[in-house]
């Protein structure tokens, strides 16, 4: 006979509004489990993608949302000061290596990876060609940044204390989410401490600096523009652009924006006293200290397979699950979630 195990495990809720790219990713996990799940998802990519290909893609991925003939330059901030090295925008045809042209900036510098990424030419593939780590930058400003590690400051981008670099108020969130992607995608080869300064969060390897920047500078229209285009050409997305709170759910720190809905652990309530028996046969019994408005069951892909409404008069509910196939489900009781295993 089919048996049902109820594990007393509170987990963030899968949002039905998330991108279909994550349909097979258990984004409700936390900590190292979520890190591993996202790393597995990101491992699917276009292995033939080259550093040279980004030269063609950049005019689309980094197109100025308000002017289709321009690209936005990372670290840039002023188009009107007569100094092209501080330009925020540039005509998209002006790719090259001369002053007042733009080239490709490795936001995580090639030399800071462990081991280094090596040289990059137009035929290079792999880590040095990963377009999630590439942004258009003024040639000279790219040189000014060089391989300096990121540090905190305020205002416009620039060198801090000779050896460090602040990306600027507009770009620090972009940088943080790119560094989070690189750490999940390439593991210890791209540890945050290799590219940034300051303390780590708790016992994790993530810098508090990047977690704070992820909160202080929300996802921009440019970042949202890049992700689907890079999924199409490169094969994967930056999950921290799609939902910044994934960083909070992995590494902790200040709570970032949850773009998918109630994915934050702070949304869990504690009105449920017991869900039993464990294991159960066909029927789940739910006892609560306060009436529950709705009882819902979802598959791990986010499909609602059962809903019972108008239970507000009852503190004890019996739910038949005999029609459900064996598998793992999420039992949603208002904002309280339980993992439901049907055997």
Domain that holds residue 11: 4-15+265-342
Number of structural domains (the chain) is: 2
Q: Are 145 and 60 within one domain? A: yes
Of the candidates 196, 6, 220, 204, the one whose C-alpha atom is nearest the C-alpha of residue 107 is 196
Residue ending a domain, among 251, 278, 296, is: 251
117 & 201 share domain? yes
Q: Can you give the pLDDT at residue 110?
A: 98
pLDDT score recorded for residue 63: 98
Count H helices, E strands: the chain?
Answer: 9, 16
- Domain match, 243 and 281 both: no
Rounded to an integer, what distance in angstroms lies between the CA atom of residue 273 and that of residue 263? 22
Do both 207 and 311 map to the same domain? no
Contacts of 162 (CB under 8 A, 6+ apart): none
Residue 309 phi/psi, 5° resolution?
-110, 175
According to the model, what pLDDT value does residue 339 have? 61
Whether pTM exceeds 0.75: yes
The pLDDT, as a whole number, for residue 267 is 39
Tell me which of 251, 282, 309 is where a domain ends: 251
Contact 3, 279 (CB under 8 A): yes
Of 251, 277, 308, the one marking the end of a domain is: 251
Do residue 245 and residue 319 come from a single domain? no
* Positive/negative CA dihedral, 283, 289, 295, 299: negative
The CATH number for 315's domain is 2.60.40
Q: pLDDT of the chain along its 343 residues, tens only? A: 444 443 333 334 444 457 889 988 888 788 999 999 999 999 999 999 999 999 999 999 999 999 999 999 999 999 999 999 999 999 999 999 999 999 999 999 999 999 999 999 999 999 999 999 999 999 999 999 999 999 999 999 999 999 999 999 999 999 999 999 999 999 999 999 999 999 999 889 999 999 999 999 999 999 999 999 999 999 999 999 999 999 999 999 999 998 886 543 333 344 555 767 656 668 878 777 677 778 888 776 667 788 887 665 566 778 888 888 777 777 777 666 666 656 5
100 and 167 belong to one structural domain: yes
Quick check: helix, strand or coil at residue 296? strand
pLDDT for res 311:
62
- Comparing CA positions, the residue from 228, 227, 253 lying closest to residue 240 is 227
> What is the rounded distance in angstroms from the CA atom of residue 328 to the CA atom of residue 253?
30
Give the alpha-carbon dihedral of 19, 22, 26, 28, to 10 degrees: -20
Q: Which 8-state DSSP code applies to residue 39?
A: H
Looking at the fold, whether 245 and 330 belong to one and the same domain comes out as no
Non-local (6+) Cβ contacts of 340 within 8 A are 4, 5, 6, 284, 297, 321, 328, 329, 330, 331
Residue with tokens 């540039």: 90
Do 192 and 72 lie in one domain? The reply is yes
Instruction: Kindly state whether residues 41 and 73 are assigned to the same domain.
Output: yes
């Amino acid at each position: 006979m089919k048996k049902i195990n109820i594990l007393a495990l509170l987990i963030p809720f899968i949002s039905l509004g998330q991108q279909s790219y994550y349909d097979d990713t258990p984004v409700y996990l936390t900590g190292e489990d979520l890190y591993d799940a996202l790393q597995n998802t990101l491992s699917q990519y276009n292995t033939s993608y080259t550093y040279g290909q980004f030269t063609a893609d950049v005019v689309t991925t980094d197109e100025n949302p308000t002017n289709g003939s321009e690209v936005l330059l990372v670290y840039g901030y002023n188009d009107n000061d007569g100094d092209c090295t501080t330009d925020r925008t540039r005509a998209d045809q002006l790719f090259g290596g001369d002053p007042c042209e733009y080239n490709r900036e490795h936001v995580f510098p090639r030399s800071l990876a462990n081991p280094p990424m090596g040289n990059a030419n137009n035929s290079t593939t792999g880590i040095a060609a990963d377009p999630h780590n590439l942004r258009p930058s003024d040639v000279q400003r790219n040189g000014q940044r060089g391989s300096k590690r990121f540090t905190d400051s305020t205002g416009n981008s620039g060198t801090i204390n000779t050896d460090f670099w602040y990306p600027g108020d507009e770009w620090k969130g972009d940088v943080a989410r790119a560094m989070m992607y690189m750490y999940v995608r390439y593991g210890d080869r791209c540890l945050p401490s290799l590219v940034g300064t300051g303390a780590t969060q708790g016992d994790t390897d993530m810098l508090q600096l990047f977690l704070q920047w992820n909160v202080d500078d929300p996802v921009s229209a440019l970042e949202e523009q890049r992700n689907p285009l890079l999924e199409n050409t490169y094969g994967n997305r930056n999950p921290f652009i799609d939902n910044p709170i994934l960083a909070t759910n992995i590494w902790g720190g200040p709570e970032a924006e949850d773009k998918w809905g109630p994915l934050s652990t702070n949304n869990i309530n504690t009105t449920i006293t017991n869900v039993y028996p464990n294991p159960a046969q066909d029927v789940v019994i739910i006892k609560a200290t306060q009436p529950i408005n709705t009882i819902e069951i979802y598959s791990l892909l986010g499909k609602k397979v059962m809903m019972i409404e108008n239970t507000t008069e009852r503190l004890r509910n019996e739910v038949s699950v005999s029609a459900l196939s064996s598998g793992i489900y999420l039992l949603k009781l208002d904002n309280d979630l339980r993992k439901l295993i049907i055997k």
